[in-house]
Structure 1
Amino acid sequence: MSPRHHLDPATLVSHAAGALSPEMAAVADTHLEACAHCRRQLADAEHVGGALLSQQQPPQAEAQRSERLRDDMLARLRQPLPAAPLHARDEPGESKRDADAMPRPLQPYFGKSWKALRWRWMAPGVHMIRAPRSSGDTLVLLKIAPGKSMPVHSHRGSELTQILRGAYDDALGHFGPGDMADLDSDIEHQPVTSPGVPCICVAALDGPLQFRGWLARKLQPMVGL
């Protein structure tokens, strides 16, 4: 599995600095398990993250230096990296992973087994499991039937969505297993799940969705997203 959509460089820097909520970090770590590209970028970002965390209120000169360092690192992370050697693209034993095993970063929230999940019906073709909150952010597993068109929506905050099984398409492209949708309040989209199998994804949100249609807005309190 070679993901085509990755974590934003700013998200990687925040993760390296320990600034992501536990829910956001769980989704980011799920992507990092599958993506050698982002693991290499995270290693670079960690050189910046520690310095940013250690300086709560630095002197003006140090603050400017830290800002320049962060901007330089973001510029470096946005540069395309050469493809990793074939032997370095996957972790040892990844191909032999138990098909029923939940990704490790999600196990504290949803358990260890796919078969043990207890999905809650939310709408025709849409099921969800909401994790208990450990911060102000929301963490959910979503299972959406094939060929399902979701309501057009934007985001009042940030959203990290990792595709676990199946796929969907929207204005940003095709998202399949391993791909990350790293979205902010500037993005409006309408995911449409691919034919064949349900699309299962895990999403962390730090603010509610903002739906364009009146019906979706009316039903939003029932869904809680």
Structure 2
Amino acid sequence: MNPHHHLHESTLISYAAGGLPAPLSIVAGVHLEQCPHCRRRLRDAEAIGSVLLEQTQPQPTDSDARRQALREAMLARLDSETPEVTASTVQAPPPPRPGADPDHLPAALHPYFGPSISALRWRWMGPGMYCIRAEQMPTLVMLKIAPGKCLPMHSHGGSELTQILRGAYNDALGVFAAGDAADLDGEVEHQPVTAPGVPCICVSALDAPLVFSGWLARKMQRFVKL
């Protein structure tokens, strides 16, 4: 998998700092799981953030020094009372399933949707359109759109982050295929059209509702809740 559309720089910096809303962070994690290029960029963002944090730390005072001494004493006591953990006492995580498996969902989605696409129970949204919401997080949504389907023109009330898992769609921004991330904000208006062949399956996170241009789409929005 060789993604051509990546996470925005600001998204990576927020992810590195732990500042992304949870649904957006999960989708960003899915992209990072599949994209070596963005994993390298994330390491750079973490390194830059670490340097900036060190430069903005205030100079220690006497009270800071006392607190640090107490903290170190407490950690030393905990170390002396904690059983030694060795490689034999830690169960290694199972190796990831091959990304080539077409039924495999990325590991970041397993707590919310399970491990496989075939086990998903889709909810009908409209002709050729299905969705599943994460029970724990309603703004984290899996979408399944039939081939050749034209979605309504819309913009975004806030941020939208979508990761393509299977199939593809195209819009004014280009072609988005499996592995690509669509990292969009309120300035983007687009009308995705799914590619022929197989359904387009993606996972999407929003921090505000979509803004539809057409009256019919706006009427339907209260039912599909996107």
Same fold (TM over 0.5): yes
- Alignment CA distance shift 1:196-1:154 (3 Å): same
The separation in 2 between residues aligned to 1:166 and 1:53, in whole angstroms, is 41
Residue in structure 2 matched with residue 166 of structure 1 by the alignment = 167
- Alignment CA distance shift 1:174-1:123 (3 Å): same
- Alignment CA distance shift 1:170-1:206 (3 Å): same
Which residues in structure 2 correspond to 1:170-189 (within 5 Å)?
170-189=171-190
TM-score if structure 1 supplies the norm length? 0.78
Q: How far is 1:58 from its partner?
A: 7.4
Deviations 1:156-185 (A, max 9, x none): 000100000000000000000000000000
Q: Does 1:146 align with 2:147?
A: yes
Q: How far is 1:115 from its partner?
A: 1.6
- Alignment CA distance shift 1:124-1:58 (3 Å): farther
TM-score if structure 2 supplies the norm length? 0.78
Q: 1:119 aligned to 118, 122, 132, which one?
A: 122
Query: Which residue identity lines up with residue 207 of structure 2 in the other structure?
Result: D
Which residues in structure 2 correspond to 1:1-225 (within 5 Å)?
1-50=1-50, 95=98, 98-134=101-137, 138-225=139-226
Residue in structure 2 matched with residue 86 of structure 1 by the alignment = none
The separation in 2 between residues aligned to 1:106 and 1:55, in whole angstroms, is 36
Query: Which residue identity lines up with residue 111 of structure 1 in the other structure?
Result: G
- Alignment CA distance shift 1:146-1:41 (3 Å): same
CA contact (8 A) 1:17 1:50 kept: no
- Alignment CA distance shift 1:212-1:107 (3 Å): same
Q: How far is 1:49 from its partner?
A: 3.5
The separation in 2 between residues aligned to 1:54 and 1:123, in whole angstroms, is 52
- Percent identical: 63
Q: How far is 1:152 from its partner?
A: 0.2
CA contact (8 A) 1:17 1:48 kept: no
Secondary structure in structure 2 of the residue aligned to 1:25 = helix
Secondary structure in structure 2 of the residue aligned to 1:215 = helix
- The RMSD of aligned alpha carbons is 2.4
- Alignment CA distance shift 1:189-1:103 (3 Å): same
Q: How far is 1:116 from its partner?
A: 1.2
Unpaired runs of 5+ in structure 1?
Answer: 60-91
Secondary structure in structure 1 of the residue aligned to 2:135 = coil
- Alignment CA distance shift 1:55-1:26 (3 Å): farther
Secondary structure in structure 2 of the residue aligned to 1:24 = helix
Q: How far is 1:20 from its partner?
A: 1.0
CA contact (8 A) 1:18 1:49 kept: no
The separation in 2 between residues aligned to 1:96 and 1:202, in whole angstroms, is 16
> Whose Rg is larger?
2
Unpaired runs of 5+ in structure 2?
Answer: 60-94
How many residues were matched structurally? Answer: 191
- Alignment CA distance shift 1:93-1:224 (3 Å): closer
The separation in 2 between residues aligned to 1:57 and 1:188, in whole angstroms, is 41
Secondary structure in structure 2 of the residue aligned to 1:222 = helix
CA contact (8 A) 1:16 1:50 kept: no
The separation in 2 between residues aligned to 1:109 and 1:197, in whole angstroms, is 24
User: Which range is displaced more, 149-158 or 99-108?
Assistant: 99-108
